[in-house]
Structure 1
Amino acid sequence: MRIGILGAATIAPTALIGPAAAVPEVEVTAIAARDRAPPEAFARKHGIAQVHDSYADLLPEVDAVYIPLPNSLHARWTLQALAAGRHVLCEKPLTANAAEAVQVADEARRTGLTVMEAFHYRYHPLAERMREIAATELGEIRRVESSMCFPLPKFGDIRYRLDLAGGATMDAGCYAIHSMRLFDPGRPVVTGARALLRSPGVDRAMTADFRFPSGAEGRITASMWSRSLLRIGLRVEGERGTMKVFNHVLPQAFHRLTVTVDGVTRRERVSGEATYVRQLRAFASAVAGADTNLTPPSDSVINMELIDEVYRAAGLEPRGAVS
């Protein structure tokens, strides 16, 4: 499978180029950007054969695209790739808002092409192990708390730009909401939210509360700049005990899983290939027809609906899109 990159994003070597060396079915063959100089330097450094001046020019040359563009451009270029008959691996969040996610889901369903939202952590064995413990050991789930906080003091970063669909809930909160949803099959509702703003309309931190149809409660804490400088983890409380997980997002670097059931505590480590390698392997398999897409557009629609609801509950508008 020939895959091309739309934009010379700094995440691309970690999320795609490095993993492609471990997934023989995938070859990174092209890159495009609006300014030719960055992709040319990027291509030389990473051994990419083709460089294009526009994203549209790249599409006929590949079988699939990887989209690490600003959030506001995700839906537009996912839809254009699908119209060109190309499969899509798109960085999270899949779109700027729920309405765009519905458009992408409808088009993916119509074309039968693979669209995968790049929640790479979901493809590591740790994610399934967490789900298994919650389902078989903790009893009825009562509360799930999910945190994704990291420091981003570079306030000129595109993730702080409203016109590019930025904000902490988009960049960090999408992870927190997604991982909170792993432990209850029902679609939660937002019961409250509070934002800390960096600029008008742009959240640097967000706390939101949820309630699942089962009665379980949820809370997410997301931040790009707050007192919680680094906080990445989960806490799942059931009637028989609790599970705590530190760094479920990048477990190959380090993680800690602690389970207490009926007063007995144990710790586990879950080994496996890097999340990005497993994600790319799953993407290639899904393109080939296997049922390996764990983060399809239908799931993205729910996540984006909740992100929109969090913004509204916090007194902010959901993100828009720019051309």
Structure 2
Amino acid sequence: MDSLQIGALGAARITPQALIRPARSVPEAAVVAVAARDRARADAFATRHGVPVVHADYAALVDDPALDAVYVPLPNSLHAEWTVRAIEAGKHVLCEKPFTANAEEAQRVADAAAASDRVVMEAFHYRYHPVVDRALDLLAAGTIGTVRRVEARMCFPLPRRGDIRFRADLAGGATMDAGCYALHCLRTLGPGEPTVVAARARLRASDVDRAMTALLRYPNGATGRMTCSLWSSDVLGVSCVVHGDAGRLRITNYVAPQYWHRLSVRTATRRWHERVAGEASYTHQLRAFTTAALHGGPVLTPASDAVRTMRLIDDVYRHAGLHPR
């Protein structure tokens, strides 16, 4: 197989950035089909982005025997259903985050993935950028000593009140859309798997959070703090700070480091800043996905990992006095 034939399950706003443009830089990836709830929207998307095939609906795309893989950028509430259907149709799957609406759904998808020989990847694109590996190398080398506290933020303004990310029936909320990044980063750079000890929500509606703060604890006693918002006084903040007993490591803009980022390290004897070279995080992600599907390469964000993140998200909601999505 020369290239992975990919279909986009939905003409979402993220699709050009996450799939169409990266495919131009990844020779082994070919975006060849799209489907949307509105056929006219799918036609317009295909014309604009040069996608040769438009399917009548999601089911037709998933069942297309010419496709090897499916990209799922649907609303959160639909991720589990269509990821499982794609796996059952023999497709590899790149599913947007958050992986599902809740941990129970995530486990169901993970079980389906484990029972197949398909690659199922959660689209935490930041994890595939070299700046994260550089940070992990520095932490593993003991550059800042034993980790005692980790703080991750993902805050940006989303003023559109009617946006689907504020809809409870579509599994929306700040913790789902922004907090998932911060929680995953706390898992990635922290000393083990954390647990939630407290959370406080600010609400857009009675059951939808527009902002959330959560406190976590790691097995070694280290603490974590997650801050996220889609609409709050924390207008913009995307960073992760790891405090050790011998120094501090900070990544500014860990989510989209291709636009601008800074890796800063401070110890008792030295301070320095780095820019870590790399392509767009989405390009690194798509290359990893195609390499895994075609050649058995590693997957850093598999379905089993997504279950752990979704459990944290569910627990954040519970500690904040809200129901999981």
TM-score (norm 2): 0.97
| Aligned partners of 2:148 and 2:245 also within 8 Å | yes
For 2:85, the equivalent position in structure 1 comes to 80
For 1:52, the equivalent position in structure 2 comes to 55
Equivalences, count: 319
1:183 & 1:250 partners in 2: Cα distance? 16
| Aligned partners of 2:147 and 2:191 also within 8 Å | no
What secondary structure, in the 3-state scheme, does the structure 2 residue paired with 1:312 have? helix
Query: 2:278 aligned to 272, 276, 288, which one?
Result: 272
Shift of 1:184: 3.0
For 1:249, the equivalent position in structure 2 comes to 255
What secondary structure, in the 3-state scheme, does the structure 1 residue paired with 2:115 have? helix
1:189 & 1:292 partners in 2: Cα distance? 27
Identity %: 57
| Aligned partners of 1:87 and 1:114 also within 8 Å | yes
For 2:38, the equivalent position in structure 1 comes to 35
Identify unmatched segments of 5+ residues in structure 1: none
For residues 280-320 of structure 1, the C-alpha deviation after alignment (integer angstroms, 9 at most, x for no partner) is 0000011024232100011100000000000000000000x
Q: Which amino acid aligns with 2:279?
A: E
Query: 1:299 aligned to 274, 295, 305, which one?
Result: 305
For residues 2-21 of structure 1, the C-alpha deviation after alignment (integer angstroms, 9 at most, x for no partner) is 10011110110000000001
Q: Which amino acid aligns with 1:57?
A: A
Query: 2:16 aligned to 13, 17, 30, which one?
Result: 13
Identify unmatched segments of 5+ residues in structure 2: none
1:180 & 1:59 partners in 2: Cα distance? 34
**RMSD value, Cα:** 0.9
For 2:71, the equivalent position in structure 1 comes to 66
1:176 & 1:23 partners in 2: Cα distance? 28
TM-score (norm 1): 0.97
Query: 1:109 aligned to 110, 114, 121, which one?
Result: 114
Q: Which amino acid aligns with 1:219?
A: R
| 1:1-323 paired onto structure 2 within 5 Å | 1-61=4-64, 62-136=67-141, 137-319=143-325
Q: Which amino acid aligns with 1:306?
A: L
| Aligned partners of 1:108 and 1:114 also within 8 Å | yes
For residues 156-190 of structure 1, the C-alpha deviation after alignment (integer angstroms, 9 at most, x for no partner) is 00000000000000000000000111123522111
For residues 30-51 of structure 1, the C-alpha deviation after alignment (integer angstroms, 9 at most, x for no partner) is 0001210101000001111111
Q: Which amino acid aligns with 1:138?
A: I
Q: Which runs of 4+ in 1 moved over 6 A?
A: none
Q: Which amino acid aligns with 1:50?
A: V
2:286 & 2:6 partners in 1: Cα distance? 11
1:271 & 1:186 partners in 2: Cα distance? 27
| Aligned partners of 2:150 and 2:190 also within 8 Å | no
Report the more deviating stretch, 267-276 or 284-293: 284-293
